[in-house]
Amino acid sequence: MPDFAEPLARLIQEVKRLPGIGQKSAQRIAFHLLRAQRDDVERLAHAMLDVKDKLGLCAICNNISDTDVCLYCSSNEREPGTICVVEEPHNILPIETTRTYFGTYHVLHGSISPLRGVGPEQLRIKSLVDRIAQGGVQEIILATNPTVEGEATAVYLSRLLKPLGVTVTRIAMGIPVGSDLEFADEVTMSKSLENRRAL
């Protein structure tokens, strides 16, 4: 590597630690920041520190929030009787963009993965059981990812929660809308066949 001035080399190193950013992108971003107005760089730097200082987890659903109880849990327009369970806070976003879900959420902050040494006790499952125990919950929608870990977590939660007298459902897996059968992998295709519905 050719030599950059020390502050620039250090910035490139730090930017490279961000997800999806390689050496070239890091250089491009670093040179951009170097040319940018100091005010703009300051705003970015402060925004970064603010998320660390001002955000915490919702006391009810563990979603990221700048208030004690998050905007979904505190809203009058959301049905508290339906809880959609997701692995991570950012998994809420694709569900919200559908504009068709009006229940609340529960964020596990991970998925069961024996390989990575993550068991059910490391996930925020107890608080979910507590929410159900308080009554008023009709349905739990398991929206963990369609991966081995997400599936395992869904199976575990389903066995744990059904005895509590709630309906437990799992989001559908199948061919993406607008796609072509040609491009579907075998697992998705077989899931799609398995979950066929009468017309």
Instruction: Name the residues that contact a second copy, by CB under 8 A.
Output: 1-8, 10-11, 13-15, 17-21, 25, 27-34, 36, 38, 40-55, 64-67, 70-71, 88-90, 92-93, 96-97
Smallest separation, CB 28 to a second copy (Å): 5
Nearer Cβ to a second copy (111/161)? 111
Is the CB of 8 or the CB of 152 nearer to a second copy? 8
Of 129, 101, 123, 121, which Cα lies nearest the Cα of 111? Answer: 123
CB of 190 to a second copy, least distance (A): 29
User: Under a CB-based contact definition with an 8 Å cutoff, are residues 174 and 191 in contact?
Assistant: yes
Q: Phi and psi (nearest 5°) for 86? A: -125, 160
CA distance 125 to 128: 5
Q: Which residues contact 145 (CB under 8 A, 6 or more apart)?
A: 87, 91, 111
Shortest Å distance, C-beta 27 to a second copy: 6
User: Among residues 44 and 164, whose Cβ is nearest to a second copy?
Assistant: 44
For a second copy, which is the closer residue by CB, 83 or 161? 83
**Among residues 129, 120, 124, which one has the least CA distance to residue 107?**
124
CB of 141 to a second copy, least distance (A): 17
